[in-house]
Structures are given as C-alpha cells and as structure tokens.
C-alpha cells in the first residue's frame, strides 16, 4: 500500500502549473482575518508552518534560515543599530533575531493584521521565544505605510518582512517606488533596509528583479542576495539597500568579529563566509537584473501569483 495516499496535502502553488506539496498531520489553526486567510499547519516534513492566503511563510524546520538571512546582514552592516522598525513580521521571529543585537534599544513592529500576531504568539512560541514580551519591543497594529506617512521618528534600520504582493492582499503597496522613497525619509544618515524580494527561480524572476530595480530609484547602494529555504520549494531572494554602507565591503573575518561582539547566542545559518557568498548570484539572475526596466509604482503595482 502506498502510505502517501492516506495523507492530507497542502499545495503551495508557486505558479498556475507549479506547486510544492506538503503532507499534513493536522490543522492547528485556521481563520479568515479581515485581511487574509491564516493557517498554521503541522506538516510531516517541516513541522509547524505558517500559511497566509495559501502561501507558505515559514516553517519550524527552516525558519532560522529565512530570519537570519533577513535580519543580520543589515544590522551587522550598520555601524551601531539602536532603533529598528519592523514592517510586518507577524511570527515574531524577525523581532527575535533583532533583539539578539546588544546595541538595540528599541524595536517597533508594525503589522496590519493583529490576528496573525495573536495566532503566532499563541501557537508558534518556538518562533518568537518571548520576544513580544521584551521591554524593548513595541507593537502597533496598523497600516505601515500610513504609519510612515505620519511619524517623524527616525530609524537606524528598517526590516520589511511582509508577504508577497498578491492582488487584493495587504502588502502590494509596500513594494513601490513611492513607498521606498517614504522609507528613506524615515532613515538616519547611515540608514539601511532589508526585505524579502521574492523567488530567484529561473522562471519566476520578475518580482525579484523589479523590486531591486525599484529600490535603486531611492537608494545609492542596493545589494541583492539569495538563500535556499527548503520549505519554500524555490531559491529565495532578499535585498539590502543602504544610504552609505556596502555590505559586500565587509570581509568574512570582519563579519565574524561583529557577530562575536554584537550578538547574543549562536547563529545557525549566517556567518562571515556565508555573508560573502550570498551576494554572488548566478549569471542568469544577474543578466535578468541588468536588463530589467520595470519600476513598481503605486499606479502600476506588480502582483505575484495567488
């Protein structure tokens, strides 16, 4: 008997004709919020997983890869990060990694969907590990773009940890030229942002290349990089954008020195050698980025497959 036939399956659709399929042990949580469908699934291969609008966001087995890749290159490139803003970040794992930096004095996490945060706080303690209760943490549940329009607070680092720009989803206006220009105004002179920028898969490069091209309209230094996150089923792209500092100027030895001096506890994915290698993108990705002309704008958003 084929044991797999008895499984329930979650199909994480990557495109109309492509999916990464996960065997499910149990549905831990499921609810439609005012903004998106929230699911926490117990899978056979990757443990518990957060799924929003039918798309995998992170898994128990490999969330450390995603969150270390998103957070530490930016905070270690900055000379002295003290005040940090998270846009999104519902699981609390991005917050967890930021709070490991000894220099950080205050982290504001702005997420539009309080129900995602509450579900993750209750069901995914391995992700946040108490970060929501850290005295340096402040939570606000509102539209991050509206917050940035109205605040006069200046940040050292802004980490943008949001879902992909799905049509009718809550995030698509946080990938535009107008939004990135707003972000630059809320950053100090040494300011840096980091964000996930979509897959670097050979047949799905438009989002990654267009996001990086759009960032270049607002930042003098844009450093795209990638990580392999097995639960996503595809290689995944990130981008670091800075007003002054180039992360690729840091040697592996300097990165390891900063990790030892600045970060509490051990990292499991990121170190100096990885830092150096992650910015070396495959030739076909670099070629696509060099010829990309698309600029994402408020009146011309880019949508990924839903």
Structure-token match 């579900």, residue found: 119
- Tokens, residue 291: 């010829």
Beta strand 235-242 with 221-228: parallel, antiparallel or unpaired?
A: antiparallel
Strand order in the sheet with 137-140: 137-140, 106-110, 83-88, 155-161, 187-199, 235-242, 221-228
Residues 157/244, Cβ–Cβ less than 8 Å: no
Q: Is 71 helix (H, G, I), strand (E, B) or coil?
A: helix
Q: List the helix and strand counts (H, then E) for the chain.
A: 10, 12
Cα–Cα distance for residue pair 52/109, rounded to 1 Å? 19
| Distance, C-alpha 222 to centroid of its chain | 16
Cα–Cα distance for residue pair 83/178, rounded to 1 Å? 23
Integer angstrom CA distances of residue 12 from 17, 288, 305: 11, 25, 11
Is 298 tagged catalytic? Answer: no
HEC secondary structure over 253-284: HHHHHHHHHHECCCCCCCCHHHHHHHCCCCHH
DSSP 116: H
Instruction: Tell me which of 161, 256, 271, 298 is the catalytic residue.
Output: 161
For the chain, the distance separating the N- and C-terminal CA atoms, rounded to the nearest angstrom, is: 34
Would you name the residues annotated as active-site residues?
161
């Amino acid at each position: 008997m084929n044991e797999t036939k008895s499984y329930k399956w979650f199909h994480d659709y990557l495109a109309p004709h492509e999916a990464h399929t996960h065997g499910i042990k149990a549905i831990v949580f499921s609810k439609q919020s005012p903004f998106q469908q929230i699911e926490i699934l117990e899978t056979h291969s990757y443990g518990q997983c957060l799924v929003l609008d039918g798309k995998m966001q992170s898994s128990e087995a490999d969330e450390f890869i995603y969150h270390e890749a998103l957070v530490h290159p930016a905070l270690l490139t900055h000379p002295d990060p003290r005040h940090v803003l998270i846009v999104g970040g519902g699981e609390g794992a991005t917050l967890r990694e930021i709070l490991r930096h000894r220099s950080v004095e205050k982290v504001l996490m702005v997420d539009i969907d309080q129900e995602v945060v509450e579900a993750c706080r209750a069901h995914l303690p391995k992700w946040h590990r108490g970060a929501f209760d850290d005295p340096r943490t402040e939570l606000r549940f509102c539209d991050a773009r509206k917050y940035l329009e109205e605040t006069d607070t200046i940040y050292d680092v802004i980490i943008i940890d949001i879902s992909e720009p799905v049509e009718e989803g809550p995030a698509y206006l946080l990938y535009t030229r107008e939004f990135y220009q707003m972000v630059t105004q809320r950053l100090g002179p040494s300011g840096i942002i980091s964000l996930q920028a979509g897959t670097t898969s050979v047949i799905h490069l438009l989002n990654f290349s267009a996001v990086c091209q759009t960032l270049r309209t607002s930042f003098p230094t844009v450093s795209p990089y990638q990580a392999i996150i097995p639960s996503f089923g595809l290689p995944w792209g990130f981008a670091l954008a800075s007003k002054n500092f180039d992360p690729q100027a840091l040697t592996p030895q300097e990165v390891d020195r900063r990790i030892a001096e600045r970060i509490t506890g051990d990292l499991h994915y990121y170190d100096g050698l990885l830092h150096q290698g992650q910015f070396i993108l495959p030739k076909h990705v670099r070629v696509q980025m060099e010829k990309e002309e698309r600029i994402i704008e408020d009146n011309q958003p880019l949508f990924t497959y839903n």
